[in-house]
Chain A
């Protein structure tokens, strides 16, 4: 009996083109080009930068050459690396708290529209108030600069994660909700097996936005709040190098920030891919 059905299935597969689990093989050339093109473009930009310095004889205190920046990275590593660590710590701590808080609050908010009505205004107010305007206040209210910076970065990264999660938890397929009701699923099971997995694409979007924002906020907050000496982040090194006209070091600090930003973007994109690549359209290739 089952054999007959298996063959029947194959016959059905013939009439129904979407059956094929088409694994698309990208050609070797394409895979090489995928790496070569962006790398070449970045190298080209650096080359143009060097050319601009050489041709126009730009003095070092206006704009350093790429080589100077690399030298600064090497010689000033002892100054820059602790600051990098401080900035990284604030960024990731803020992102972690924002993730826990954003997802947690989103789960609470969607439990009832009354809770949402009561709490959502605060989240919006917090979001629309420019962080740079409240940073000086936070410096006064918080026990130390670090926690003030952390709070700033958290506030900025928190909202996109919260609003994405709220949207995700609410946009569950109604038929699936009916199915869960039909089988007598309790609130907890519906959350765990349906609502949370269904909102993973939204979580991934929130994570990518929040990850980038937490770094930006960590830097901007330091600009606004100001910090000095030991235990200060890369933003302080930027300011300090600017005051001292040590532009190679300023550029080196900038480059460290850029690399950090790119790394965060790559990491969050990778996490999103891990979460979604088996099933969600956003992480898949088109099949035609």
Chain B
């Protein structure tokens, strides 16, 4: 795997079968009258690390939940061009979701927590075991199978949550501000790990965040959203030939990228404030 990102122009011309999921004119009106999303159209291409960036209330989490099938869109459609669709209109076992909270079963061990998605799919524990072990090893928690969630630190709980999302070997990983509650050092460490997993597995990631720095570090595409109503404001390709590591964090190139993303976000915030 390489860190060289294709230019946006090339990606835009890619064939539709490279689209993992596409949102078509999706709007979401909540029962309290809030228009959380207005006419959002977004194609997520295979292998992308896409960040949805925006101020709170811009509907970025709502968009992610609609893609995951948690709550239906008020209008518009979600298409999965290259996945087998199950009865609920979702791609079978193709989506992993990481919540803002670790959302682990407190009464179950780390092993059983990671087993859960497979268990719900009727996979026996013995058959699931190699996959659980692999998923745990990939997040560096191989030695913690028998631990209970409360015995783990916040960062480790998040790792379990990521392992659980990866255990079904999904093609698309949805992450909803997963590291917002963690301290900066732990967060950087987890960012490094998520990037590594992305490179190693070729998985497509949609990452919701309100952090310019996090999105600029992780993504090769940033979709900036505005609030009132939630809409896509800017679609930035983040290209770099540099390896994204600790050095990259202090590089001039990274600073330039964060400046660019910050400006786009500022614009989005202003549009949202004007309510136009």
A266 to B272, CA, bound (A): 61
CB distance from A187 to the nearest CB of B (A): 12
Do A15 and B185 touch (CB < 8 A)?
Answer: yes
Q: Check A18 for interface membership: any CB of B closer than 8 A.
A: yes
**Contact across chains for A9 and B117 when beta carbons are under 8 A apart:** no
Closest chain-B Cβ to A180's Cβ sits at a distance in Å of: 7
Q: Is B97 within 8 A of A182, CB to CB?
A: yes
**Which residues of chain B are within 8 angstroms of A9 by Cβ–Cβ distance?**
140-141, 156
Does residue A280 face the partner (Cβ distance < 8 Å to B)?
A: yes
Q: Are B189 and A182 in contact (CB under 8 A)?
A: no
| Interface residue from A12, A176, A185 paired with B156 (Cβ < 8 Å) | A12
- Contacting residues, chain B, for A197 (C-beta < 8 A): 105, 107-108
0/1 interface trace, chain A 2-40, chain B, CB 8 Å (1 if under): 100110110011011111010000000000000000000
Cα-based distance from A200 to B106 in the complex (angstroms):
12
- Residues from chain B with a CB closer than 8 A to the CB of A179 are 97, 99, 103, 116
Does chain A have a CB within 8 A of B143? yes
Query: Are B153 and A13 in touch, CB under 8 angstroms?
Result: yes
- Size of A's binding interface in residues, CB under 8 A: 34
A193: chain B residues within 8 A (beta carbon): 105, 116, 119-120
Query: Are A12 and B153 in touch, CB under 8 angstroms?
Result: yes
- Cα separation A202 to B149 with both chains bound (whole Å): 20
- Per the CB 8 Å criterion, the residue count for chain B at the interface is 42
Please state if A178 and B107 are interface contacts (CB–CB under 8 Å): no
Q: Is the CB of A178 within 8 A of B99?
A: yes
Q: Which residue of A lies closest to B102 (CB)?
A: A175
Selected from B88, B120, B154, the residue in CB contact (under 8 A) with A18 is B154
> Are A176 and B103 within 8 A (Cβ)?
yes
User: Using Cβ atoms and an 8 Å threshold, which residues of chain A touch B84?
Assistant: none
- Cα separation A182 to B151 with both chains bound (whole Å): 26
What residues of A have a CB within 8 angstroms of the CB of B119 in the complex?
Answer: 193
Contact A16 B155 (CB under 8 A): yes
- CB of B14 within 8 A of chain A? no
Q: Is B70 an interface residue (CB 8 A)?
A: yes
Bound-state CA distance A163–B203 (Å) is 46
Judge whether A16 and B120 touch: CB under 8 Å: no
B88, B105, B141, B148: the one within 8 Å of A176 (CB):
B105
**Is the pair B153, A2 in contact by a Cβ cutoff of 8 Å?**
no
A181 contacts chain B at the CB level, 8 A cutoff: yes
User: Does A8 contact B189, Cβ atoms closer than 8 Å?
Assistant: yes
Contact at A21–B147, with CB atoms within 8 Å? yes
Q: Within the complex, which residue of B103, B106, B142, B153 is in contact with A19, where a contact is CB–CB below 8 Å?
A: B153
Please tell me if the beta carbons of B120 and A6 are within 8 angstroms of each other in the complex.
no
B39 contacts across to A, CB distance below 8 A: none
CA distance A189 to B123 in the complex (A): 13
Contact: B86 with A184, CB < 8 Å? yes
Contact A12 B155 (CB under 8 A): yes
Asked if A122 is at the interface of the complex by the 8 Å CB criterion, the answer is no
Chain B residues with CB below 8 A from A278, complex form: 107, 148
Q: Does B239 sit within 8 A of A, measured CB to CB?
A: no
Interface code B97-121, partner A: CB below 8 Å = 1, 0 otherwise? 1010101011110000000110111
Are B120 and A2 in contact, CB atoms less than 8 angstroms apart? no
- Least CB distance from A48 to B in Å reads 45
CA gap between A43 and B148 in the complex, in Å: 42
B137 sits at the interface (CB 8 A): yes
How far, in whole Å, are A173 and B139 apart by their CA atoms in the complex? 25
CB distance from B214 to the nearest CB of A (A): 17
Contact with A along B44-59 (1 / 0, CB 8 A): 0000000000000000
Point out the residues of chain B lying under 8 angstroms from A12, CB to CB.
153, 155-156, 185-186, 189
Write 9 A-B pairs (CB below 8 A) sorted by A numbering: A1-B196, A2-B137, A2-B142, A6-B142, A9-B156, A12-B156, A18-B154, A175-B99, A179-B103
Given A8-B189, A15-B183, 5 more A-B residue pairs with CB atoms under 8 Å apart are: A9-B141, A12-B189, A16-B154, A176-B103, A280-B107
